[in-house]
């Protein structure tokens, strides 16, 4: 094994192991939605997140509001077929946890039972600490999500960075502290300035996982399709590690040319009678 290769593990990463990474080697997190991609990413990631971003990147929705429990379950099952070692977290979709703690518990149990994922993630809001407390007290591992909350797109009027005023800054800090006090094992911090991400990371004892939140967090997450360059629009905080949109376009163009020229399939790609 080369020194560049991640050490092989015999069992799945656990929530306590993730908590123990606070202030240590940064946690590597990516979104996953399908079996083949989960299989490719699993050896390299500590956490795979079945994010409700799947509504946008897989299903072409304008935002995450239309994502359903059934969509999350279908993709969660697909990811679990490909993920052997990474800890798998599944998003609770909009409308599946806000009505009350019992609704949240029933839907979290359904997500975990029907997919086999290890934890749920839910976005912050005025009542979220009560929900996290209720779920964690009943044996459910919960990841919080503060700062920019994609499920609040309609009240916020778009995907807007958070913490730009002092009042908003204090609100984000409180949500992070409340999530920790309620029992969350880690929190995603999305779309906040570096100094706020750093302050939250210093104030809470659970790992912070940043997206558009600077290198001051305890880990990083990106939407995989963004970092693979599958879209023409790229948010400022995304780094492209591949240009798959161009690669796929070029491959499909070559295939179309070969089919039209009858150079595909060639004899070696054809069955013949014995």
The residues that are catalytic are: 190
**Of the candidate residues 42, 46, 52, 178, the single one contacting ligand KIV (CB under 6 A):** 52
- d(CA 242, CA 51) in angstroms, rounded, equals 21
Of 47 and 182, which has the nearer Cβ to ligand KIV?
Answer: 47
Question: Measured from the CB of residue 49, what is the shortest distance to ligand KIV in angstroms?
Answer: 6
Question: Is residue 51 a contact residue for ligand KIV (CB under 6 A)?
Answer: yes
Q: Nearest distance from residue 263's CB to ligand KIV, in Å?
A: 41
Q: Is 189 in the site for ligand KIV (CB under 6 A)?
A: no
Say if residues 206 and 34 touch (Cβ distance below 8 Å).
no
Min dist. Cβ of residue 251 to ligand KIV (A): 26
Number of residues that bind ligand KIV (CB under 6 A): 11
Is position 91 an interface residue for ligand KIV (rule: CB under 6 A)?
yes
Q: Tokens in use for 3? A: 């020194």
Rounded to whole angstroms, how far apart are CA atoms 107 and 120? 10
Q: Using only C-alpha atoms, what is the Rg of the chain?
A: 20
Is the omega angle on the peptide bond into residue 265 within 30 degrees of 0, that is, cis? yes
Q: Which of 223, 226, 228, 229 is close enough to bind ligand KIV by CB under 6 A?
A: 223
Q: Write out the two tokens for 78.
A: 């697909």
Q: Closer CB to ligand KIV, residue 150 or residue 183?
A: 150
Q: Is 31 in the site for ligand KIV (CB under 6 A)?
A: yes
HSE-CB for 153 with a 13 A CA cutoff: 12
| Other beta carbons less than 10 A from residue 195's beta carbon | 12
Least distance between ligand KIV and beta carbon 207 (Å): 14
Paired sense of beta strands 47-50 and 141-147, if any: unpaired
Residues of this chain that interact with ligand KIV (CB under 6 A) are: 31, 49, 51-53, 91, 188, 190, 211, 221, 223
């Amino acid at each position: 094994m080369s020194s560049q290769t991640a050490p092989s593990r015999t069992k799945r990463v656990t929530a306590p192991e993730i908590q123990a990474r606070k202030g240590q080697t940064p946690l590597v997190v990516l979104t996953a939605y399908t079996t083949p991609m989960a299989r490719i990413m699993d050896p390299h990631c500590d956490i795979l997140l079945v994010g409700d971003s799947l509504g946008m990147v897989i299903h072409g929705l304008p935002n995450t509001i239309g994502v359903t429990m059934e969509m999350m379950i279908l993709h969660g099952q697909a990811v679990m077929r490909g993920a052997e070692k990474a800890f798998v977290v599944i998003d609770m979709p909009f409308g599946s946890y806000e009505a009350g703690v019992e609704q949240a518990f029933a839907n979290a149990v359904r997500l975990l039972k029907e997919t086999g994922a290890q934890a749920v993630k839910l976005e912050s809001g005025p009542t979220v600490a009560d929900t996290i407390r209720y779920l964690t007290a009943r044996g459910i591992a919960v990841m919080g999500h503060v700062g920019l909350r994609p499920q609040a797109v309609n009240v916020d009027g778009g995907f807007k960075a958070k913490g730009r005023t002092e009042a908003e800054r204090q609100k984000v800090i409180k949500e992070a502290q409340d999530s920790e006090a309620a029992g969350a094992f880690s929190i995603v911090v999305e779309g906040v300035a570096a100094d706020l991400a750093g302050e939250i990371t210093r104030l809470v004892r659970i790992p912070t996982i940043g997206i558009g939140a600077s290198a001051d967090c305890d880990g990083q997450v990106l939407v995989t399709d963004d970092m693979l360059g599958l879209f023409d629009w790229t948010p400022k905080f995304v780094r492209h590690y591949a240009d798959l949109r161009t690669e796929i376009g070029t491959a499909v163009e070559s295939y179309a040319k070969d089919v039209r020229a009858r150079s595909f399939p060639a004899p070696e790609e054809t069955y013949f009678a014995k």
